Amino acid sequence: MKTFLLLSGVLFILNAHAQTKTYTLANAHSHNDYERSMPFYQAAALQFGSIEADIHLKDGVLYVAHDSKDINAFRTFKEMYLLPVVRQFTLNNGKPYADSAPLQLLIDIKTASAPTLQALQELLLPYRRYFDRSVNPNAVKIVLSGNVPAITDWQQYDPLFFFDGRPDSVYPAALKQRVGLVSIDFHRYSKWNGKGTLVPADLEKITTVINSVHQQGFPFRFWGTPSTKTCYYKLMDLGVDIIGTDYPEELYDVIHNIPKTTTK
């Protein structure tokens, strides 16, 4: 009887602290999207909530490439991502997706922060209405990653820019609203290849960092996670908010076919 009461009490406590987390395609992230056969459009057709582009500033033009050696005159940020966003809004009556699902662009800055951001601000100026959530709740959210300015300098930049934070950073209260999400390299916590199960020690470290970010009220993302179905399910089980993949159709199938909610 005592054992039964003890187990009942434990279950009650667990249930009391459990949260219902809903996973939809809004949680799906197309990692290094420019490497897809159809950049932007492939992920947008699957209604992914987050799409990543790496940008380089060269001779006053913003190019999309992972490394500077890969810069191609035909692969500009304007042609590959900015104008496709505008077309989405035209097709969907002022929204990125017809059903009002959200979209964010995670822009990884590869060149020097200040001049690259200045060029990005100037490029976006005629298109602000597609990215300014203060005037359009359906606007695409821009989150800057990579070579971002120091936290104390964020307020100098256009308020339509949000920033990709880090778990060990401290954010003044006035700037917390500029944190779009918090990300960290998965390999700092585990060498797991996405098959089998996580080592318990790694699982403890991973759970700790996720919980610490959530306690601050920020959404969480790992970069460098294995692109396997086992990994996608595990990240959702752990409550990771943004699930990255190099294989959008595979992640689409996983999220599209899971129960609408998981308890975390």
pLDDT category, 65, cuts 50, 70, 90? Answer: very high
Whole-angstrom distance, CA of residue 82 vs CA of residue 61: 13
- Supply the pLDDT for residue 263: 47
Q: How confident is the model at residue 259 (pLDDT cuts 50, 70, 90)?
A: confident
Which tens digit of pLDDT belongs to each residue from 205-254?
A: 999 999 999 999 999 999 999 999 999 999 999 999 999 999 999 999 99
Which parts of 73-187 are beta strand (E)?
104-109, 141-146, 161-165, 179-185
Between vectors from CA 47 to CA 46 and to CA 52, what angle results, nearest 5°?
95
Beta strands per DSSP E along the chain? 20-22, 28-30, 50-58, 61-64, 104-109, 141-146, 161-165, 179-185, 220-223, 243-245, 261-263
Across the range 6-10, mean pLDDT stands at 38
Q: What count of residues does the chain have? A: 264
**β-pairing, 50-58 with 61-64?**
antiparallel
Please name each of the domains of the chain with its CATH number.
Answer: 22-263 (3.20.20.190)
State the average pLDDT over residues 168-182: 97
Q: Note the pLDDT tens digit of each residue in 109-141.
A: 999 999 999 999 999 999 999 999 999 999 999
CA 222 to chain centre: 9
Whole-angstrom Cα Rg for the chain: 20
Q: pTM (2 decimals)?
A: 0.90
Predicted pLDDT at 20: 61
Mean pLDDT in residue range 90-97:
97
What's the rounded mean pLDDT across residues 168-190? 97
